[in-house]
Structure 1
Amino acid sequence: MAAIRRWLLAGLLVLVPLAVTVWLLNWIIGTLDQTLQILPGDWHPDKLLGFHIPGFGVLLALAIVLSIGAVATNFLGKKLVSWWDALLSRIPIVRSIYSSVKQVSDTLFSENGNAFRKALLVQWPRAGVWTIGFQTGMPGGDVINHLQGEYLSVYVPTTPNPTGGYFVMLPKADCIELKMSVDEALTYVISMGV
């Protein structure tokens, strides 16, 4: 009986992550394939080729994102993006949603790729309780005028969904830099330490 239980658990440990990964990829590809609907009917790959190729929408979505990125990085594109930001910042409900999402995306997709610079071991939410946090920078603005000593800006993610979490400023002396990459630390958090 113990062997059957062990086999069942081992099978679940192999199949559940695989099934979730396949389901998620299928959902992403299916969703991105919906971008093909913006093409005129005669241009659909299904019609041109005579058969369906899953993932063609991914290529179209990637081409659209690259095109928008190319336009947004030149002088005229920067002006258009600035105008668009100003327009959206005048619409009451849209303003709060758009500005929040824009700040997060600006941080995560920053040019230097250092949204999370280092993985840290920090005491949170109280002394004696340790968790992994990510250094996001140094405190700035007026905040720095009210802190004594050297502080780090730290994002403490929640488990298993690291998109929710806490932004805290901790004394540098209380933060232990881990000898693991940000990716390894993030995987450790998502897997709940497994």
Structure 2
Amino acid sequence: MTGDTSSEPTDGGHLEKPPRPGAMTRLRNYFLTGLIIAGPLGITAYLTWSIVQWIDGWIKPFIPAIYNPDTYLPFPVPGVGLIVAFLGLVVIGFLTANIAGRTLLSYGELLLGRMPVVRNLYSGLKQIFETVLAERSNSFKKAAIIQYPRPGLWAIVFIATDARGEVAHKLGHAGADVTAVFLPTTPNPTSGFLLYVPRSEVIELDMTVEEAAKLVISAGLVSPDYDKLVQLQAEPNAPEARERAKAGG
């Protein structure tokens, strides 16, 4: 019998064991494993701490000394400004949800609308926040792939909405079959290009927008498990099963 004899018995009837890695190889593997574990945790903790300190630096000067715990304690308490900012936004949302609040808001927007430069800035920012944060918005609910920048090359995009307004009007009858997509860049998916693509050329993906964003950020290194995804999609309650899988890790 010919072929690989590495697993055949040697002298004494024992199998030949593979050589053990050297000390430097084991040390490198341990270091890389520790870096993979500690790197994301450290960066996440640093960014979270930086955001908390940044918000505290903005909000704490406006908190009365009697309500600021830093006045009574010998050390600063992080996160007080973040809590106050959260409560303040909740109060603002509550006040503007009633008739009096909406009336006051409309007068304020009318005043801003009379300011030449401020009105353009405010209207643009308001539209962005409403599009991104409003629950009624359907933007970026699906990930897809299109051929870009030429046939044969494929890029991940986020489906925004159908062509509307002047764009749809200028496209004429074809505008009804054109959808707007956002093409993110790597490794920063917050920048990219707005493209109007025929709907027939857009291939929707089963992965979520978050999974597609991870794929873009990692330059293709972090890809969702497609076999597990197909199995979840085949279950009778696929959306519920997918949510359970995401919650479980």
TM-score by length of 1: 0.86
Match of 2:44 among 13, 21, 24: 21
What's the counterpart of residue 159 of structure 1?
A: 186
Secondary structure, aligned partner of 1:168: strand
What's the counterpart of residue 176 of structure 1?
A: 203
Deviations 1:112-141 (A, max 9, x none): 252212111112222222111111111111
What's the counterpart of residue 190 of structure 1?
A: 217
Secondary structure, aligned partner of 2:78: coil
Q: Distance in 1 between matches of 2:186 and 2:201?
A: 22
Give the CA deviation at 1:45: 2.1
What's the counterpart of residue 136 of structure 2?
A: 112
Match of 1:78 among 99, 102, 105: 102
- Which fold has the larger relative contact order, with Cα–Cα distance below 8 Å and residues 6 or more apart in sequence? 1
Question: Who wins on radius of gyration, i.e. which is larger?
Answer: 2
What's the counterpart of residue 121 of structure 1?
A: 145
Q: Distance in 2 between matches of 1:176 and 1:91?
A: 44
Q: Kindly indicate whether the alpha-carbon contact (under 8 Å) linking 1:122 and 1:132 is maintained by their aligned counterparts in 2.
A: yes
Is 1:45 the counterpart of 2:72 in the alignment?
no
Give the CA deviation at 1:46: 2.8
What is the one-letter code of the residue matched to 1:144? A
Query: What RMSD over aligned residues (CA atoms) do the two structures have, in Å?
Result: 2.3
Give the CA deviation at 1:110: 1.6
What's the counterpart of residue 12 of structure 1?
A: 35
Q: Distance in 2 between matches of 1:158 and 1:19?
A: 25
- Given the superposition, is the C-alpha separation of residues 52 and 143 from structure 1 closer, same or farther in structure 2, using an over 3 Å criterion? same
Task: List alignment gaps of at least 5 residues for structure 2.
Answer: 1-23, 222-249
Deviations 1:31-84 (A, max 9, x none): 222313212112212335676432222211110011111112222222332333
- Given the superposition, is the C-alpha separation of residues 163 and 88 from structure 1 closer, same or farther in structure 2, using an over 3 Å criterion? farther
Secondary structure, aligned partner of 2:138: coil
Q: Kindly indicate whether the alpha-carbon contact (under 8 Å) linking 1:109 and 1:115 is maintained by their aligned counterparts in 2.
A: no
Is 1:150 the counterpart of 2:177 in the alignment?
yes
What's the counterpart of residue 233 of structure 2?
A: none
What is the one-letter code of the residue matched to 1:69? G
Secondary structure, aligned partner of 1:126: coil
Give the CA deviation at 1:14: 3.0
Give the CA deviation at 1:171: 0.6
Q: Distance in 1 between matches of 2:207 and 2:31?
A: 33
How many equivalent pairs are there?
194
Larger CA deviation: 88-97 vs 161-170: 88-97
Percent of pairs with identical residues = 37
Larger CA deviation: 170-179 vs 141-150: 141-150
TM-score by length of 2: 0.69
Deviations 1:144-191 (A, max 9, x none): 231526111111111222221111110111000101112211222222
What's the counterpart of residue 64 of structure 1?
A: 88
What's the counterpart of residue 141 of structure 1?
A: 165
